Amino acid sequence: METIIDNEAVVKKDFSEDLSPYLVTKCPVTLTNLIIGGKWKPVIIHNVSRGIIRFGEMQRAMPGVSKKMLTQELRDLERNGILNRKIFAQIPPRVEYSLTALGQATLPILYSMAMWGLEYAKQLGVENWATETPKST
């Protein structure tokens, strides 16, 4: 098996359209939300934080996400330097995703979100809701 594409730590500089809200506001919260926010991106990062994962495994771990949406979110995270994507030259093609160093740096944010979510769940009276929380580092 030979790797034909490996974009580790490559952050493409064609941000202008995707990051235009940040460029207007210069707000770091807006920038963070654009890069790792939304319905699926935090869940994707959490799933990849467990180790190298393939597309099909990711889709099975995320009930409700369409193939099109998952593909779009993975591409956004890759383009913004959060995920590394490796394509192996074999039949059928195999693609693996892992976190870049920049992606690893998002884990404390996800951990804080998970802790807040658990506290909020307690306020709602939902106990033992989550089976696991993201790593804090």
Indicate if 32 and 94 belong to the same structural domain: yes
pLDDT of residue 61: 95
| Distances 42 to 9, 16, 58, 82, 123 between C-alpha atoms, Å | 19, 22, 13, 11, 22
> Do 110 and 95 share a structural domain?
no
Together in a domain, 66 and 130? no
- Tell whether the model's pLDDT for residue 6 goes beyond 50: no
Identify whether residues 110 and 137 lie together within a single domain.
Answer: yes
14, 81: one domain: yes
Q: Are residues 135 and 71 in the same domain?
A: no
137 has pLDDT over 70: no
β-pairing verdict for 83-88 and 94-99: antiparallel
pTM of the entire structure?
0.78
Q: Which residue has the higher pLDDT, 128 or 31?
A: 31
73 and 128, same domain (yes or no): no
Q: Which domain holds residue 129?
A: 106-137
Instruction: Flag whether pLDDT at 136 surpasses 70.
Output: no
pLDDT band at 92 (very low <50, low <70, confident <90, very high): confident
Same domain, 19 and 51: yes
Q: Examine the domain organization and report whether 11 and 48 are in the same domain.
A: yes
pLDDT tens, residue by residue, 32-83: 998 999 999 999 999 999 999 999 999 999 999 999 999 999 999 999 999 9
**Mean pLDDT for the stretch of residues 17-32:** 78
